[in-house]
Each structure stands twice: as C-alpha cells, then as structure tokens.
Amino acid sequence: MSKTVRMSQDGVCPGDFMLQNVNCPHVKLRPELPGVAFRGHLCSLPKLMEITSSSHASHGNHKENSPFLNSSEASKGGDYYDKNLALFEEELDIRPKVSSLLGKLVNYTNLTQGVKEHEEAESTDGSKKKVSKSPSMGTLMGVYLPCMQNIFGVILFLRLTWMVGMAGVLQSFLIVLLCCCCTMLTTISMSAIATNGVVPAGGSYFMISRSLGPEFGGAVGLCFYLGTTFAGAMYILGAIEILLTYIVPQAAIFHPSGAHDASSAMLNNMRVYGTVFLILMAVVVFVGVKYVNKFASLFLACVVISILSIYAGAIKSIFDPPEFPICMLGNRTLSRDQFDVCAKTVVKDNITVASKLWELFCHSTNLTTENCDEYFLMNNVSEVAGIPGAASGILKDNLWSNYLEKGEILEKAHHPSIDVAGQKNNLHLYVLSDIATSFMVLVGIFFPSVTGIMAGSNRSGDLKDAQKSIPVGTILAIVTTSLVYFSCVLLFGACIEGVVLRDKFGDAVNKNLVVGTLSWPSPWVIVIGSFFSTCGAGLQSLTGAPRLLQAIAKDNIIPFLWVFGHGKANGEPTWALLLTALIAELGILIASLDMVAPILSMFFLMCYLFVNLACAVQTLLRTPNWRPRFKYYHWALSFLGMSICLALMFISSWYYALVAMLIAGMIYKYIEYQGAEKEWGDGIRGLSLSAARYALLRLEEGPPHTKNWRPQLLVLLKLDEDLHVKYPRLLTFASQLKAGKGLTIIGSVIQGNFLETYGEAQAAEQTIKNMMEIEKVKGFCQVVVANKVREGIAHLIQSCGLGGMKHNTVVLGWPYGWRQSEDPRSWKTFIGTVRCTTAAHLALLVPKNVSFYPSNHERYNEGNIDVWWIVHDGGMLMLLPFLLKQHKVWRKCKMRIFTVAQMDDNSIQMKKDLATFLYQLRIEAEVEVVEMHNSDISAYTYERTLMMEQRSQMLRQMRLTKTEREREAQLVKDRHSIARLESLYSDEEDEGDSVPENIQMTWTKEKCDAEKRNRGSAVGTFRDLISIKPNQSNVRRMHTAVKLNEVIVNRSHDARLVLLNMPGPPKNTDGDENYMEFLEVLTEGLERVLLVRGGGREVITIYS
C-alpha cells in the first residue's frame, strides 16, 4: 500500500517542511528534480514533487512508521520532531530550539523611526517584499558629527563673548566646566544604558521609559520633547537676531519711535519674522525630511568654518590685530552707529566745527555749551582698540566678573573719568546693559550650548553597531566641544577689550557681531556661517521633536496623545509636527533669546537628571538584565551627574525649575492613574521590589505594637458554579473597613485537583480581581485549589501573606440556609474555619445579612452603630466602628456602646468607668449599661432547645437511611455515571468514593428481612423523638441567647449596624449544630449584624 503526496506548481505550502531519515528505502524522490533540498519551502519548488512511502502491514499505526510528517504535523513545524530532542518535543511550541531562536535574533532589523513598521503585503504576482535597508552608519557619520552639529549652536556665536565679558574668564571657565561635567556624566550614564541591549529608534525616551518605567518615561519623554521644541524656537530667534542686527538691519518692520522703545520694536520684529521662519521651516519638514538631511552636512560645514575662522583671527591678532576702534566718553562706551568721528570737534577747511557727537550731546551745531550734557563737557572723548590682540595683556583685565543691572552704562575700569550726573535723555547714546546679569542667569543662558548629546542615541536605528558607536562618538563629541568652549573663553578674554565683550549686540563696534570682529578673513564668515548653522539646527529640532512625540503617542502610555501617533502614509508625523510648530510659536512670541534659553535648559536638565537616575538605579539594584558593554560607569558618577543637573536647574532659575518639576510630576501622576498598563521590566519595578523586601525584613523583627495594630484582612469569598462571587458585599465591607490602608487579601478555594483545575483557578482569580476593582478594594487575590474546601481554607489561613505582612483578621461569610439543608457541609466548614482562626490566634469577623450592608455609593446621614460589649477580647469591638467611621458611608453615624451588668455588678460605677475608658481611648461614643436580671428559664427557651435537639436527632436518623435510597435512585437515573455518595457525617467533601460503573445488587431473603427491620427501627426512632428531653447545658446556653437577643433587639432594632461578641464554638464537636442554632437565636430580628471574635491580643491602647 503506497501513499503519494503531490504538491502542484501553484500549490500552497503550510510552512517549513523537513525530511528526517533521508536514507530510508521507503522514500523515493522523482529523478527529474535534481538538487532538491530536504529542508525548505515547498512553495518555491517549480515542478511536481512526489514522495512515496510504503507502509508495513505489520504496523497498525502509520504515523509511527512514517519517516516524514503528514500535512497536519507539517503545519505545526517539522523542527519539533527532531530525533535528538525527542525528550523535549511536547514543549517545543513554548520553548523553541536554540537554533531557531538564534536565527530569529540574527534576522532582527531596526527600522528607522518614521519608517512604516509593517511593509505592504506581498503582491499577487508573488513579487518579493521590499528589503529594508540595513543600518550602515559608523561612529563618525552616525554619532560624532550629528552630536557636534547639535552641540555647537547659536549661543556660541551670539552670547559666549558677552558671557565672558560679564562673568570674566575665571567664572566663565566655571560655567563651562559645570555644564560640560553635567553632559559628560550624563553621557557616561547614557552609554551604559544604550549598550545594555538593543536600543530601537527613539533614543533617550526609549532608554528612560524602558529603564524607569512608563510613568517616568512619559514624563521625561515629554520634557525632552518640550525642550527640543523650545530649542527649535531658540534657534529661529537666533537666526532672526543675526538677520536683523547684522545682515539686513533695514529689513525691520517696526522702528523705535523714541529713544527708549528700541528693545520693544526689536522684539516685535523678532515675533513677526520668527513666525514667518517657523512656518517656512515647518513646510520644509512637512514636504520631506530628506531635504533637511541633505543640507545637514552643509550646515555642519558652516559651523566648522566659523569656528576655524575664530582660531585664525585669534592667531592673527597676536601680530596684526584687526582695526575696530571703540569710542569712549570718559570711561563710558558710546554707541558707534550714530556718529562717524570719535571727537567733540572736527576741522573742516581749517575751521574747528562741532562734530556729530557734539550735536547729539549739546543739541546745537555751533560750539555753544548752554544745553550741553554736563558729563560730556567734563570728560574727554578717546578711542580705544576694540581688539587689542592676544599679545596685549588684556587678559588680566578680563579675568574678573563685571555683572551689570539692567540699563547700566558699559564702563571701562581704570579709564580716566570725572563722575558727574549726565542727562537721562542722552542715555541712548551710550552702550547699555539690556538685562540684569548674574552667575545664575548666565548658567541658564549658556547651558543650551552643551545640549545635543542625545543626537547619536536618537539615530541608534541607523547605526551599524550602536553599542560601540554611541559611547565613543558622544564622548569624543563632548570632549571636542568642551575644548572648543574652553579655548574660545580663553581667546575671547585674551584678545577682545572688556567693554566690547560686554556689548551684546556690537553697538560699540559699528553694529558688528562681536565674534565676527575677531574672525579672519572677514566678520561676514561668522555672520553668514552662524546664520545658516542656526537655521539648520532649527530644522533639525523641528524634524526630531515630532518623531519623539509620535514615539510616545504610539506607546499609548498617555491616552490623550493617541492622535499624534498618526501621520502621512510614509509614517511622517503630520499632527505631531503641527503641535510642535504651535508650541515653538509660544517660544517665538517670548521673542527674547535670553528668556527662551533658560526654559529649554530646564527641560533638558530634567531629561539628563532622569538618564543619570536610570543608570544609578539599575546599577545599585544589580538587576540580572543589567549587563552594559560600556564598562566605565559607576553609580557614584551617575549620582554626581544627577546632583549637578538638579543644582544647575535651581541655579539658573528656581521658579522655572519648580514649574518643570510640576509639569513632569503632573504627567507622571496622569500616566499612573490613566495610562495604559505597561510592563517593560523597568528599574522602578525592581526598586519597588527591593524596597518591599527591605521593609518586609524590617517588619520581621517582631510583632507590631498595639498602637500600630490595624486589621489586616483575609476575606474568604465563596464562588458559585459559574465562578462568580456569591456575596460581593463582603468586598464592599472590606473596602469600607480598610479605606485603602493596610493589607487586604481576598482568598477563595476551588474544589478539585490542581493539575486539572488550574485554568479554572486562573479564571476565578481574574473574576475576583475585576470585582475588587469595581468595589475599590486595594489588595491581593489568592485562589487555592484543594480536594476539600475546609483544607483549602486552612491552607489560606496558614500561608497567606509574607513575613510581617500577614493577615491578623479573617472575614467569613455566614452560611445562609444551613437549617433548610439536609447536608451539614456548609455549617461544618463554617465552624471548622472558626476553630482554625481561634487556633491561629486570629481575629474573626462574620458579617450576617451581608446583602443588606450599604454599598460604597450610599451615605448614612444619621443613625447609630451599636456595640454590644459582653466580654472583653482585646478591644476589637471599640476599634472596628472607629475604622468604619473613617469611610464616607458611615462617617455621620453615631457610636453607642452597651455593656451588660449582672445583678451583683454596680451598674452606675460601670458606666462611669466605661466613659473614662472611652475618653482615654479618644473615642466618642454614648455609653449605656444594660442590667440583666436573673430570671427563671422560660418555657419558650425550653421549647426552642427541645426543637433544636429534636431536629438534630431527626436529621441524624434521616441520614442513616439515605445511603441505600441514594444508591437505588442513582441506579435508576443513570447506570453509567459515576455517583458521589454522601456518608453519614460527611464533611463538606467526605462524600464517599466513586461508585463503579456496574453495580450488581442481589436481593436475598435475608437481605430483604434486614431491610424491613431497619425501616421498622427507623419508625420507632421517629416515635422516640417526641419523648426526648433536652440537655441542661443546652437549655442554659439557649436561655442566655434568648435573653441577650431580647435586650439587643429592644435597644438596637433601628441601628444601622450592630456589633457583638461572637461566642466560641464548643470544645466537643457533637454540639456544633447546636452552636449554629445559638448564633441564629442571638442575632434574630436584627437587620445588619457583625459578629466579632478577637484574636487573643490587645488591639487598642490608651497610651500615645
């Protein structure tokens, strides 16, 4: 008998196909198919393939004999039937072979951010999918140069000279050192994180979110996004400042109407031109990022040429300083753009006439002095070299700081001057300080010039070897830029006159860019170079920020950002770009570079702070997954970096720092409460585990003090056949009692075999967790599978909790309908649990009529919580109402405490003592002492006891005959089913063994006579029930129950909740059923009752 498997040319194969045992004589391959691989896709075979197999007649099972897989097995994957792995074949679907796992890992490719993750499906003609371009960038092109371009920016060209002039060379060194140390330490931390596994595109956001969790990741990701967006605004403002101040000043739309509103006119120009530039750049980014990337190298070339021109100019200034004279009146610096000759008088045609300077200060063209400025008359005009050169020794004058207030005139120290008051309306002729400066202000303004260290990690998807390139490239870029900044600070201090350095906009040097005056061959090199580099940096920011926002939105951790995850068909983030442009517009409306710089400093510092924190946390926790390839990191360096970040935030602007922290905190809390649950194996989860372990070990040291005692609940829930919670109000009661504090464990038992009912247990656990969420119970859930419910409950009582976090109180539901049931399982389980809790020294709460308990949405505006304190069991009865009253449902209820006095007790003294005790406990409650007189046992009590004992006896007799009746009924019902028979005193699960399928019953004469005798004796027993006499001990107990019930119902019939002591179960198990009856009688006629049994220790104290 042969079997042939045919696959036609256009056949569809289910997957990989493997032939084992190819030497077997039963396998024949068609000769017209040379070179057919034994392993591969059959779909790719162009011709027909036949595999013929012959089965031996002696084998009944074809599957065992077949050397290849049939179609159904092939669909599972041929790898699973590897001969060498037969021992593991049943688990290969969940635990794949190492070879297949490594194959998948090697084929893993990083798609760059913004590229569609899923390419178009295979076309109908069978054309291959587009092969994604493999990442190929090295350290130089992929990390070093992008970082250099991002770090060097507008601040270097527009503000570094001014910073050196204000702070002096020494303090400028300190500012640069602080900022560069911050970024270097952050880079070390970032390198450790980046080399700890594959970092997909997303850079810093991805690193932080996967290291510190979605809450921190989202908060820091948005901070970094806002920082990048405001950086775009800052670059645009820098470009406009260069354009309107140094390239085409005549392009200004707004002109100052008076001498004092020049700054406001400039700000308005910045706003208009900034908005236009922003729109143009957004359009460029929208049209295509490829254009931005094409020009990136051009912009970088501009930066490099500009910096080189500074060094060239500094070297040239040693032997041939450039001619940039500045005009001084006394020791004050004059704004050079309003006059040409630096003198009071000029000689024209051998006649001394007033110069333009004289006209400006004296408001006349002749040499009269009536209206002249007094300071002008008293001081001489002189010219000083703006660029004395590196050999001039000017460095010693520029070493020290010279901070100015807003509106102060720039003065040259030690220059001859007579100090007299001048006219205020001539202030516009001097060079003035436009903002108040200090060390703190300068730190905030300078810090953006060291940001940009994340450029390499943001491109990690494009790098050939990200784990090597990111640390090396970023650290080299920081070292290079730091050396450039340090050398520039030194060169500026050594080559340029102090007043020129402090002149922010170059008013003293004919509106030239101050850095430009030093550069060689021309100031225009720096002006044009810096303009293009700032434009390029602005475009880069507007390209990067929307992608970052898109990455955050796609992670779906911040629900309201989901719309920004969408974009154009090619994945470009259109909506995110629109939001980025709107936020950048806010920065442009601020219009001042000096105001925007500290804002983005805050956001970047916040981001760097969390990168350091992530590295420190992972290092200290020593998580098993923390194995960075970059080894030169240490938690102390990360903490130092974190401290510097925090210090710089508060140094530069404490109120901005607080605002940034508030924003990050709000995002954190929002993600915590509203965001999607993400499990990224983050460090904060590890930190929580370490903290929990530490706290648990501390708790183990001893039992809690009475002052710290609070009920740590184990709530035992009963589930119905459909695994639904039978009494959800038990959970409601638990949440009202706990109010979110302390430990709550919800336990349940499923009867059966663990191996068979594991899935059921999982489903039950999920049901309980959902119900806990609905009822707002904060706690843990534990479902146990046991052969007997009573055993399962005993396991829960023994083993729930961990260390010091164990339950001390059990909440147990009342077994309703126990009287009606012939089966004693429910109440036997109940009493068994009561005994277990007593043996374990745990407190026990039994809410009776729990269905009538209030839900969390109800409010009791009036009413009483009545406590019946009959015996003292540690003060639980006092504490529970106090805890319940913390919840809004019970808050307005009043507390009343009743205690019972016997005939020989002094009830008046008892009331006084009780009131004093409650006062010392700081519990507000009404106190009442109820006197119970020694009365004779009533006929009603005797009758109740008799009925109780008769009922017990009757049920016992009924169960004696039950076995035979059930057996007969079962045979009639279904001869083939497995019946579970209940024995006489069946515990909840002691229901007998399985009955065999075939039960043979032979009725002999002897057996028939025995059966008749049994029935006769049963009838006689029923007659004996009428003449039974109750046990005296039971009568006494019933008397107590009836009398107490009368008193309680009389006083507390309208109470919202009644709490009373729960008597313990009898030592002799024969009286268990009577115990249930006593409890029923005790609580009869009360709507809501909470039976309380203490755990044998004091839980409340009068001491503070």
The model's pLDDT over 149-159, given as tens digits with 9 standing for 90+, comes to 888 888 888 89
Note the pLDDT of residue 41.
40
Q: Is residue 859 within 8 Å of residue 888, measured between CB atoms?
A: yes
Note the pLDDT of residue 638.
95
Q: Which residues contact 182 (CB under 8 A, 6 or more apart)?
A: 447, 450, 605, 608, 641, 644, 645, 648
Note the pLDDT of residue 30.
42
**Residue 16 pLDDT class (50, 70, 90 cuts):** very low
Q: What is the mean pLDDT of residues 222-238?
A: 90
Dihedral angle sign, alpha carbons of residues 1084, 1085, 1086, 1087: positive
The model's pLDDT over 325-363, given as tens digits with 9 standing for 90+, comes to 889 888 888 888 888 888 888 888 888 888 888 888 888
CA 342/CA 325 separation, integer angstroms: 9
Q: What is the mean pLDDT of residues 387-393?
A: 86
**Residue 264 pLDDT class (50, 70, 90 cuts):** confident
Residue with tokens 């990022």: 289
Is 660's pLDDT higher than 50?
Answer: yes
Note the pLDDT of residue 83.
53
Structure tokens at 19: 């032939």
Phi/psi for 659 (5° steps) reads -65, -45
Mean pLDDT, the chain, integer: 76
CA 87/CA 65 separation, integer angstroms: 19
CA-based radius of gyration for the chain: 44
The model's pLDDT over 512-570, given as tens digits with 9 standing for 90+, comes to 888 888 888 888 899 998 998 888 888 888 888 888 888 888 888 888 888 888 777 77
**Residue 50 pLDDT class (50, 70, 90 cuts):** very low
Note the pLDDT of residue 258.
64
Note the pLDDT of residue 373.
82
Highest mean predicted confidence (pLDDT) among 772-781, 933-942, 971-980: 772-781
Is 107's pLDDT higher than 60?
Answer: no
**Residue 77 pLDDT class (50, 70, 90 cuts):** very low
Structure tokens at 201: 């595109």
Is 431's pLDDT higher than 70?
Answer: yes
Of 478-482, 700-704, 998-1002, where does mean pLDDT reach its minimum? 998-1002
Note the pLDDT of residue 1104.
55
Q: Which residues contact 293 (CB under 8 A, 6 or more apart)?
A: none
Q: Looking at the DSSP assignment, which residues form a beta bridge with residue 784?
A: 749
Is 735's pLDDT higher than 50?
Answer: yes
Note the pLDDT of residue 540.
83
Is 1010's pLDDT higher than 70?
Answer: no
**Residue 1002 pLDDT class (50, 70, 90 cuts):** low
Note the pLDDT of residue 1030.
58
Residue with tokens 């005296």: 1032
DSSP three-state, residue 989: coil
Q: Which residues contact 1064 (CB under 8 A, 6 or more apart)?
A: 834, 838, 1093
Residue type, 863: G
Whether the link from the prior residue into 559 is cis, omega within 30° of 0, is no
CA 512/CA 524 separation, integer angstroms: 9
**Residue 115 pLDDT class (50, 70, 90 cuts):** very low
Please choose, from the candidates 138, 717, 794, the residue with its C-alpha nearest in 3D space to the C-alpha of residue 476.
138
Note the pLDDT of residue 993.
40
Q: Is residue 515 within 8 Å of residue 508, measured between CB atoms?
A: no
**Residue 958 pLDDT class (50, 70, 90 cuts):** low
Of 152-156, 384-388, 458-462, 587-591, where does mean pLDDT reach its minimum? 458-462
- Residue 731: which H helix or E strand, with range? helix 729-738
The model's pLDDT over 922-939, given as tens digits with 9 standing for 90+, comes to 878 888 888 776 664 555
Please choose, from the candidates 300, 291, 303, the residue with its C-alpha nearest in 3D space to the C-alpha of residue 542.
291
Structure tokens at 277: 């530039």
Q: What is the mean pLDDT of residues 149-172?
A: 90
Q: Give, as one character, the DSSP assignment of residue 1061.
A: E
**pLDDT > 90 in the chain, percent:** 14
**Residue 947 pLDDT class (50, 70, 90 cuts):** low
Residue 949, burial from CB neighbour count under 10 angstroms (0-12, 13-18, 19+): buried
The model's pLDDT over 793-811, given as tens digits with 9 standing for 90+, comes to 998 988 888 877 888 889 9
Highest mean predicted confidence (pLDDT) among 78-87, 738-747, 1032-1041: 738-747
CA 275/CA 272 separation, integer angstroms: 5
CA 326/CA 335 separation, integer angstroms: 9
**pLDDT > 70 in the chain, percent:** 73
Q: What is the mean pLDDT of residues 373-385?
A: 86
Please choose, from the candidates 913, 947, 952, the residue with its C-alpha nearest in 3D space to the C-alpha of residue 929.
913
Note the pLDDT of residue 1006.
62
